[in-house]
Structure 1
Amino acid sequence: MLTATAAAKHPMLSRPSAPVRSATLLEAPLGLMGAPMRFGRNEEVYGEDEPAEFLYQVVTGAVRTYRMLDDGRRQVVAFYLPGDIFGVEAGDVHLSSAEAVSDSQVLVVKRSSVMARAEHERDLSRQLWTLTVRELQRVQQHSLVLIKSAEERVAGFLLEMASRCASGTAIELPMSRQDIADYLGLTIETVSRTFTQFVQSGVIALETSRRIQFRNRAALSRLNA
């Protein structure tokens, strides 16, 4: 049964008769049915400490997860792009909040339904295990990023985004400079200055404020080594 908070955030899931076209979460052959939902730019998907009753998969757009620190600063924990699954928690509540970076479509499925099927389907159980391990590795890798220099952090971020995009020569960043700064533990001024340095040194070219062309990927890789 949905809690009042969950029902308010995901009203489509509390109305089974609504004309919602179903889709699948995780691997398509598994046939896990979920409700596609739309979230506007900066709209909250779920909040920190709320019950982790659903799993989510980005269909279009992008989602960020974040925590608010005691001093009022925002720490972006991760960015999720189309195909990525988020909302995976070891416990019963969310350890961070999730918001749509831009207008996004997200597939939402009941966590209990997934777990019930995983008890009987080995492939699904293996996928969930792999997903959990991947999330743990991501957290560990991100913690290591925060001890590097600004140039190393920005270079690593660009390479990370490139590895998740179809094209290896150019990327379209859905997130703002402030998002990037909060993800890398830098100020927005430092991020902007580092981008300018990379442009001036011929490492990248800025076709727009969000579209980045790689000119010397080897140089970025050396910084990220």
Structure 2
Amino acid sequence: MISLTATSRPLAAGGPPPGIKMVHAELPFVGSIPGEIVEFEADSEIHIEGDKAVYAYRVLSGAVRTFSLLADGRRQIESFHFAGDVFGIDIGDVYRLSAEACCDTRLLVIKRAQIEAASRKDCGAARELWCWTAQALERARVQMLLLGRKSALEKVASFLVDMARERHEDGVLELPMCRTDIADYLGLTIETVSRSLSHLERAGAIALPATRRIELRNKQKLGALALQS
């Protein structure tokens, strides 16, 4: 069995840090190489920007936010990762982003060196690595569009459309992230996010029965609001 820890820093004597649970089970991560399952409680730290990049991660359940802290202390979330997504395949020897669990999350963890070795020997593993890189580039493209050219209302509407598509949820969207996370992802304040959600509700596009539960009442109208100029 591959012996892995949840972060790039060694585990303290006596077991993993609070909020992290090692599960003695393995699943294929890439090719025939298995990774080990690690469970993280909501808001638990997975790795920190600048840590030595030892491990890569695949989300089995839950959600992860990857982010950077700006010089003035503000947080910019670069991406959310859901079941099936891979993160931690950074260029260089250190992580360029921090990662935390948005909610209770199960990850499949493997040493990056094993992925690199497998990709040199196995065409299938190399193809998987290429796909992960392409997905990361697509996320960066979407994020650049959201931050650069859309109004606040368009950003929030686009976010909901993307989340419904990403999570394959048709009528009701159960968000694993809080509104502060959404604001830090879209480059808005939490007040602006709340006002935009209220606007979408008044327009009949959504309903807000709970903070993280959103009913998609009119997806066509929501899509139109996401694209309006």
Alignment of 1:63-78 (within 5 A): 63-78=64-79
Q: 1: distance between equivalents of 2:69 and 2:107?
A: 23
For 1:168-198, what per-residue CA distance to the aligned partner results, in whole angstroms no more than 9, with x for missing partners? 2221100000000000000000001111111
Aligned to 1:6: 9
Equivalent of residue 22 in structure 1, options 26, 49, 59:
26
Percent identity of equivalent pairs: 40
Whether the 8 Å contact between 2:59 and 2:86 is mirrored in structure 1 is yes
In structure 2, the CA distance between the partners of 1:52 and 1:105, relative to structure 1 (3 Å rule), is same
Larger strand share, 1 or 2: 2
Alignment of 1:30-41 (within 5 A): 30-41=31-42
What RMSD over aligned residues (CA atoms) do the two structures have, in Å?
2.1
Letter in 2 for 1:164: E
Q: Secondary structure at the match of 2:84?
A: coil
Deviation at 1:19, TM superposition (A): 7.1
Whether the 8 Å contact between 2:204 and 2:217 is mirrored in structure 1 is yes
Whether the 8 Å contact between 2:38 and 2:108 is mirrored in structure 1 is yes
Q: 1: distance between equivalents of 2:119 and 2:69?
A: 33
Aligned to 2:201: 199
Whether the 8 Å contact between 2:23 and 2:37 is mirrored in structure 1 is no
In structure 2, the CA distance between the partners of 1:61 and 1:198, relative to structure 1 (3 Å rule), is same
1:79 maps to 2:83: no
Q: 2: distance between equivalents of 1:134 and 1:62?
A: 16
Letter in 2 for 1:179: D
In structure 2, the CA distance between the partners of 1:22 and 1:201, relative to structure 1 (3 Å rule), is same
Letter in 2 for 1:136: L
Q: What TM-score, normalized by structure 2, do the two folds share?
A: 0.88
Aligned to 2:19: none
Q: 1: distance between equivalents of 2:112 and 2:67?
A: 21
Q: 1: distance between equivalents of 2:165 and 2:145?
A: 18
Aligned to 1:118: 119
Deviation at 1:2, TM superposition (A): 8.6
1:57 maps to 2:63: no
Q: Secondary structure at the match of 1:207?
A: strand
Deviation at 1:31, TM superposition (A): 2.8
1:100 maps to 2:92: no
Letter in 2 for 1:200: R
Aligned to 1:15: none
1:153 maps to 2:155: yes
Q: Secondary structure at the match of 1:21?
A: strand
Q: 1: distance between equivalents of 2:223 and 2:89?
A: 30
Whether the 8 Å contact between 2:60 and 2:106 is mirrored in structure 1 is yes
Q: What TM-score, normalized by structure 1, do the two folds share?
A: 0.89
Return 5+ residue gaps in structure 1 as ranges: 13-17
Q: 1: distance between equivalents of 2:80 and 2:218?
A: 24
Q: How many positions carry a matched residue from both structures?
A: 216
Q: Secondary structure at the match of 1:70?
A: coil
Return 5+ residue gaps in structure 2 as ranges: 17-21
For 1:141-185, what per-residue CA distance to the aligned partner results, in whole angstroms no more than 9, with x for missing partners? 201211210011001100110111132222110000000000000
Deviation at 1:56, TM superposition (A): 0.3
Q: 2: distance between equivalents of 1:194 and 1:220?
A: 12
Whether the 8 Å contact between 2:24 and 2:37 is mirrored in structure 1 is yes
Q: 1: distance between equivalents of 2:29 and 2:84?
A: 9
Letter in 2 for 1:204: I
Aligned to 2:110: 109
